[in-house]
Structure 1
Amino acid sequence: MTITVDPARLSAASALEGPEAPTDVVLSLCVPTYNRARFLEHLFPHIREASQVFDFSYEIVVSDNASPDDTAEVVARFKAEGLPIRYFRQEENKRLSNQFSAFRHARGEFLVYLADDDLMIPEALADNIRFMMENPQIRVVYTPFEIYDALNGERHCLFYHLRKPVEVFQPGQEVDLLKMLVENHVMPEIGIYRAEAVRQLVSAPQFCYWAFAYLATMVSQGPVAFRDVPYYRSVTLTPVMPNRHQEGTHDNLYNWDAFRGGLEFMVFSLLKRLGLTPDRELQRIFRDMVDSFLSMRMHVSLRLWLGRRDYLKAYELITRLSYLNPASVRNIAGVEQLLPLVRAQVLAQLANGIAEIDRLILDGIDDVSGFETTLRDLGLKDHIAVVASSTVGAADDTPKERSFVFLRDEARRAHFMGEGFEKGLIVSTGDIESNFPI
């Protein structure tokens, strides 16, 4: 699909330079980057090909967060080949503000964030630009994004689904907006912004998830739209680096608690603009909405941590999910086998974390070899020897302060203390169980 616009909007890619450079760029693709030169080498040809369906002017705004690799040289090469790139380099790594840098340098009427390791669906992007042109009152149009395997060229699922082809929310309809976000599990991360709307964003939040905070600002300015025409591909596997870190997965693993902060930020903004002091019933309604959304995101995080065999983090999530809704944890696959794994992982991490421990003594364990295999699998360091207490005799010359003792039976503690083992280096099953009930 192509878009026909006034010829005055059009500008040649090579003309976007110098003091006489035109400022009537329609679309700015904003690419913050850091140490990702190889990804840019993959992204730039994709943009060049995608632009064949653009019947409007565009630019690529690269904000380089002081990359130590050859990012600048890669950008210069593609710029020399005719790509309309404008390149800016930070003097130091400024992670929270680098996206702002790209946005603020952009000259386009519409701004799109594009991660250096993701891709676009060009026809859908052009279609959404047309939607924005036809609806000049809309400040931003959000769309779902596609999970995409670029290594094998396979489309997977959409990150979320909308129940209507288009929904528009006006200022004053924030409660309906919140309900839509919660009911559809929408993450408003991918959108096409009108430039003047973005320029009213002046801060990157640190404790509140940025997507909700930005949305709260957008809807305070004017209408925002949600449209079921996905144009963004969030790449999982890539030919550039098949095992690379994926930022979206990182957010789901570590930053899910900020989602609550983002929604609470939206609620706060709504109440302030309306001049409302909520009574207990309204507080409960908002709290239930936020809890519902957070529960869903925590279940996603839980599945990821279980898949990574990090049972301690999974346990913490289960305790919080159980607090929100005890019934929600009953059907989690494998939860009944979780406690023994949690306890073993606790023991492995405890031994790893104490300075100068060379030996883990197991007392009361029938299958020492099998238990050692479990401990190693759950992260016990190779330099820590695992031995049965029955092999530790009077002739043992290993310093007691370098030995960590695990007891199955609490009554055996006095025996080991009497043998001169350090009091603080003895832990029992009961000690661990008191910290991790299920």
Structure 2
Amino acid sequence: MNVSIDPAKLSAARPTANPDAATDVVLSICVPTYNRAIFLRHLFPHIREVAKAFDFPYEIIVSDNCSPDETPEIVQDFIAEGLPIRYFRQEENKRLSNLFSAFRHARGEFLVYLADDDLFIPEALADNVRFMRDNPEIRVLYTPWQIYDALAEESRGQFFRLPKPVQVFSPGQEIDLLKMLVDHHIMPEIAMYRAEAVRQLVSAPQFCYWAFAYLATMISQGPIAFRDVPYYRSVTLTPVMPNRHQEGTHDNLHNWDAFRGGIEFMIFSLLKRLGLTPDRELGLIFRGMVDHFLHLRMHVSLRLWLGRRDYLRAYELITRLSYLNPASVENIGGLETLLPRLKAQILAQLANGIAEIERVAVFGIEDVEPFERDLRDLGLKPHIAVVRGETLTGDDTAETTLSFVRDDAMRQALVEAGCEPGLVVSGRDIEVNFPL
């Protein structure tokens, strides 16, 4: 749907913040958003309830990435109700810098990020603020987070566990910090920043996972802490939009390779600060740590792709896992049935992707119905018919038929019979490309 936006009307609709909202602010809740008005209508009452656990002033910073929906009007409604919101609107969609925008406008002593579709744990959030106020040397506090089903209003577990209730690392202890991250598979994503610390962040890395790059900057400034008091709920299922896109899942599916870049960025920063050039032995130690962490992240991604029944993406991950550690792929569930599913999915994608294909002709299979069900199940478009090759007649158009044969012996016979050479695919073709 195309939306026509009148800049004059947008300017006039820009919400006006409560002038008392930023007086002696202790906590800035930073909410970058884009085209999620329906979530903001749900989020703001939640923050109002959360704030009942506070004994300190707070503000909400909304950085709107030029949303074409009713975000400005909804923000204005809640400002009118007295919620301490300060609203800022980008002139265009700036995905990588929108969180920076919220951070830079924040006036609080401490800054936290809140996705517009996630939630807080009120008492835990307030308790972590007290921890930061009681420990003024700490630059940033990292915590695990809950995986939360908001439909059932139940926690589905905690993302990573810390080896101790509280751990503090100071400059010079980066190797100990890196070892903890790798050994316990810790992702430093959810954090409460001291304002002057976060303002030293000046970029949003793309090839290096931001959480590790930011952590490298934080540890260079002063002590950082990890505390096993989760205050953040990463929502998996929500009554607002049950089928909505979940950014954390997207990262695990698509951006896992950036995790390697993030840890390598962190190691590079450590070595530069210490003035070290690693010898072969130290280089192998670091490489082993990075490979170990990436191996765990790839297994997470593999499970997600298998769950989505995208066997081509799963195969790509298996090849890389096998390179890192061949034994690690031996016990992957469903591996024995992966190749036939992969064949069917590739054939479906070929038929879908070649222009003007009207049918898939299957040779050497008596019962085509189960084979067709697999093709449909794995994405073959409804308008493409599946037929037994032996039933084809001279009236069928060679240029619109993709033929699948069990072995190469039949290929030449089909070509001699008038089939297009490039439209004949054998099982061996697939196995050569995708050996298991």
Superposed displacement of residue 367, structure 1? 2.0
Superposed displacement of residue 418, structure 1? 1.1
The equivalent of 1:423 in structure 2 is 421
| TM-score with structure 1 setting the length | 0.94
User: Comparing 135-144 with 396-405, which one deviates more in the overlay?
Assistant: 396-405
In the alignment, residue 437 of structure 1 is paired with which amino acid? P
1:65 aligns with 2:68: no
Superposed displacement of residue 388, structure 1? 1.1
Distance 1:117 1:296 in 2: 27
Identity of aligned residues (%): 74
Distance 1:17 1:235 in 2: 29
> 1:288-437 alignment to 2 at 5 Å?
288-393=288-393, 396-437=394-435
Superposed displacement of residue 22, structure 1? 5.2
Query: SS of 2:29's equivalent?
Result: strand
> Hey, which bits of structure 1, 4+ residues long, moved more than 3 A?
15-18, 20-23
The equivalent of 1:221 in structure 2 is 221
In the alignment, residue 126 of structure 2 is paired with which amino acid? A
In the alignment, residue 289 of structure 2 is paired with which amino acid? M
The superposition leaves residues 346-386 of structure 1 with CA deviations (integer Å, 9 ceiling, x where unpaired) of: 11111111111111111112321111111111111111111
> 1:200-215 alignment to 2 at 5 Å?
200-215=200-215
Distance 1:225 1:413 in 2: 65
The equivalent of 2:6 in structure 1 is none
CA contact (8 A) 1:351 1:380 kept: yes
In the alignment, residue 418 of structure 1 is paired with which amino acid? E
Query: SS of 1:204's equivalent?
Result: coil
The superposition leaves residues 217-251 of structure 1 with CA deviations (integer Å, 9 ceiling, x where unpaired) of: 11111111100011001111111111211111111
CA contact (8 A) 1:23 1:108 kept: no
Superposed displacement of residue 108, structure 1? 0.6
CA contact (8 A) 1:170 1:223 kept: yes
Q: 1:22 to 1:251 in 2, by over 3 A?
A: closer
| TM-score with structure 2 setting the length | 0.94
The equivalent of 1:160 in structure 2 is 160
Distance 2:242 2:194 in 1: 35
Distance 2:396 2:74 in 1: 57
The equivalent of 1:6 in structure 2 is none
> 1:104-143 alignment to 2 at 5 Å?
104-143=104-143
Query: SS of 1:236's equivalent?
Result: strand
Alignment root-mean-square deviation, CA: 1.3
Q: Structure 1 regions of 5+ residues with no counterpart?
A: 1-14
In the alignment, residue 222 of structure 1 is paired with which amino acid? G
The superposition leaves residues 44-67 of structure 1 with CA deviations (integer Å, 9 ceiling, x where unpaired) of: 111111111111110000001111
Superposed displacement of residue 324, structure 1? 0.7
The equivalent of 1:4 in structure 2 is none
The superposition leaves residues 126-185 of structure 1 with CA deviations (integer Å, 9 ceiling, x where unpaired) of: 111111111111110000000111111111200110010111111111111110001111
Distance 1:364 1:29 in 2: 63
Alignment: residue pair count? 421
Superposed displacement of residue 17, structure 1? 4.2
CA contact (8 A) 2:21 2:84 kept: no
Q: 1:16 to 1:359 in 2, by over 3 A?
A: closer
Distance 1:151 1:427 in 2: 46
Distance 1:351 1:402 in 2: 10
The equivalent of 2:49 in structure 1 is 49
In the alignment, residue 416 of structure 2 is paired with which amino acid? G
The superposition leaves residues 266-311 of structure 1 with CA deviations (integer Å, 9 ceiling, x where unpaired) of: 0111111111111111111111111111111111111111111111
Superposed displacement of residue 423, structure 1? 1.4
